[in-house]
Amino acid sequence: MKPISQTVEHYPPSGIRKFFDIVSQMDDVVSLGVGEPDFVTPWRIREAAINSLERGRTSYTSNWGLLELRRVISRYLEGYSGLCYNPENSVLITVGVSEGMDLTMRTLLNPGDEVIITEPCYVSYKACVELAGGKAVTVEAKKERDFVVDPKDIEAAVTDKTKAVLVSYPSNPTGAVADKKTLREIVDIAVKHDLYIVSDEIYDRLVYDGEHVSVPTLPGAFERTVLLNGFSKAYAMTGWRIGYAAGPTEVIKNMMKIHQYTMLCAPINAQNAAIEAIVNGAKDREDMRREYGRRRRVIVKGFREAGLDCFMPGGAFYAFPNVESTGLTSEEFCEKLLFEHKVAAVPGTAFGACGEGNIRCSYATSIEDIVTAIDRIKAFVAGLK
C-alpha cells in the first residue's frame, strides 16, 4: 500500500490518552484524570431531547444549526456580555468547541502562518494549528504569574507571519483566570499588529472568584475575535457534542463552508437540548458551579497539607499542584501515584513541555473520591521523604 499522509503519520497522539488506557485496565483507581463533569446532564435538558425524538425530529438541520438555537445564543450573549451577533450569519453551531477550533484554524490560516498559543494549554490547540498547515508559536504562562501569560511575552513572539493569538481563560489545565488588564493588553497587541484573536471560553461559567471577562467585549476586540464556546462543561453535556462559534461575519461564513462539507450539521436532538439548556438551564448550571467551588477548596487544601505547592485556581475544574519538591518529574510522579497508590492524574507535560513540575488534577469528581485521593497522595508524598 502507498503510505498515508506524512503529516498525520508522524503526528504524536494525545498525551492524556496513555494514562486513561492504563487506568481503564485497573481496579479501585480514583481518577482525577478526566476533564469532564461527573454530573449527568440535568433532567430538563435530557427531557427536551427526549421530546424532540418523540416528535420525530430525526433530520438534518440547516448547516448553520437550528435558527432557534442561534437566536437564543445570540440573545443570551447580548444579555450576558452585551455582545450583538447576528444569528443569521455570525453564529455557527458546531460539534463542540473541538470542531469550532478546527474550523477556525482552517479558515484563518495559509500555509506557514503563525498562531501564538500559551502553554501549558489544552491538548488540541497545537494540533489544530499544525494540521491546518500553520505554525504554533508557544509562549509560556509562568508559574510565578499563577499561569497567566505575560502580554509582553506574546508581543515578543509576534513576527510578520503571525496571523492570530489564541486566548483561553479559564484555562485547562491550570485553572488560571486572566484579569481584565491582561486581556486588554493582549487585545491591544492584536490591534497593533492586526491579528485575529481566537478565544476559547468554554469554562466561562465556571469561575469562582469574581466575574468572567469575555475577550470580544474589550475595546477593539469584537471585529477581530472568533469566540468559541459550548455546552460540554457548564451544562455537563460532553457527550452531546454541541458548541458554537460567533465572530466576524466573513470569518464565520467561511467556517460554515468547511462545516457544510465535512460535518453537515450538529445532531438535531442535541441542538434541541441545547436550546433548553440556554433558556432554562441557569439554575442547574449554577448549582453545579457551586459544588465545583466547594470541591476546589477541599482539593487545594489537601495538596497543601500533603506538602505540595498549589495555587488556588480561579476557574474551570482543575488544580495544578507542583510536585518538584518530591524530586520526581511530573510523569514519574503520576506513574508512581497510579501504580503504587491507585490515583490517576495527568502529568503537566501532556499540556506542553513547560507543564513539567506540575500535575493536572480534575475536581469534577465526588467529594468522597477527592478525599480518598488526597489521603492516598498524602501517604505517597510522605513515603518519598
Ligand X SMILES: Cc1ncc(COP(=O)(O)O)c(C=O)c1O
Nearest to 190 by CA among 214, 169, 219: 219
Looking at the Cβ atoms of 252 and 381, the one nearer to ligand X is 252
Pairwise CA distance, residues 120 & 104, whole Å:
21
Enter the C-alpha cell of residue 19: 494514562
Q: Does 122 engage in binding with ligand X (CB under 6 A)?
A: yes
Q: Which letter does DSSP use for residue 209 in this model?
A: S
Pairwise CA distance, residues 35 & 203, whole Å:
11
137-166: contacts with ligand X (CB under 6 A): none
CB of 1 to ligand X, least distance (A): 32
CB of 243 to ligand X, least distance (A): 4
CB of 220 to ligand X, least distance (A): 24
Q: Does 31 engage in binding with ligand X (CB under 6 A)?
A: no
Looking at the Cβ atoms of 35 and 302, the one nearer to ligand X is 35
Q: Is the dihedral of CA 245, 249, 251, 256 positive or negative?
A: positive
Task: Out of 174, 232, 271, 362, point to the residue binding ligand X (CB under 6 A).
Answer: 232
**Judged by CB under 6 A, how many residues of this single chain contact ligand X?**
13
Collapsing DSSP states into helix, strand and coil, what is residue 46?
A: helix
Region of 4-12, 37-45, 92-100, 146-154 interacting with ligand X (CB under 6 A):
92-100
Write the CB contacts of 107 (distance below 8 Å, at least 6 apart in sequence): 251, 254, 255, 258
Residues 233, 235, 239, 242: what is their CA dihedral angle, to the nearest 10 degrees?
Answer: -90
Q: Does 238 engage in binding with ligand X (CB under 6 A)?
A: yes
Region of 3-11, 96-104, 270-278, 366-374 interacting with ligand X (CB under 6 A):
96-104
Region of 19-27, 93-101, 112-120, 178-186 interacting with ligand X (CB under 6 A):
93-101
260-299: contacts with ligand X (CB under 6 A): none
Looking at the Cβ atoms of 195 and 202, the one nearer to ligand X is 202
Region of 94-102, 105-113, 261-269, 371-379 interacting with ligand X (CB under 6 A):
94-102
Would you give the distance in Å from CA 311 to the centre of its chain?
Answer: 19
**Residue 263: CB atoms within 10 Å:** 15
Collapsing DSSP states into helix, strand and coil, what is residue 57?
A: coil
Looking at the Cβ atoms of 176 and 202, the one nearer to ligand X is 202
CB of 142 to ligand X, least distance (A): 19
**101 in Cβ contact with 124 (< 8 Å):** yes
Nearest to 346 by CA among 101, 14, 37: 14
Region of 91-99, 149-157, 283-291, 354-362 interacting with ligand X (CB under 6 A):
91-99
* Strands 318-319, 225-230: pairing kind: unpaired
CB of 228 to ligand X, least distance (A): 7
Looking at the Cβ atoms of 202 and 265, the one nearer to ligand X is 202
Looking at the Cβ atoms of 238 and 260, the one nearer to ligand X is 238
Q: Does 35 engage in binding with ligand X (CB under 6 A)?
A: yes
Q: Which letter does DSSP use for residue 207 in this model?
A: B
Binding characters for ligand X, 341-370, by CB under 6 A (x = yes): ------------------------------
Residue least distant from ligand X (Cβ): 96
Looking at the Cβ atoms of 206 and 328, the one nearer to ligand X is 206
Looking at the Cβ atoms of 306 and 354, the one nearer to ligand X is 354
172-211: contacts with ligand X (CB under 6 A): 172, 200, 202
Strand intervals (E) in the chain: 30-31, 91-94, 114-119, 135-140, 162-167, 196-200, 225-230, 243-246, 318-319, 343-344, 346-347, 359-362
Roughly what angle, to the nearest 10 degrees, separates helices 67-81 and 268-280? 30
Residues of this chain that interact with ligand X (CB under 6 A) are 35, 96-98, 122, 168, 172, 200, 202, 230, 232, 238, 243
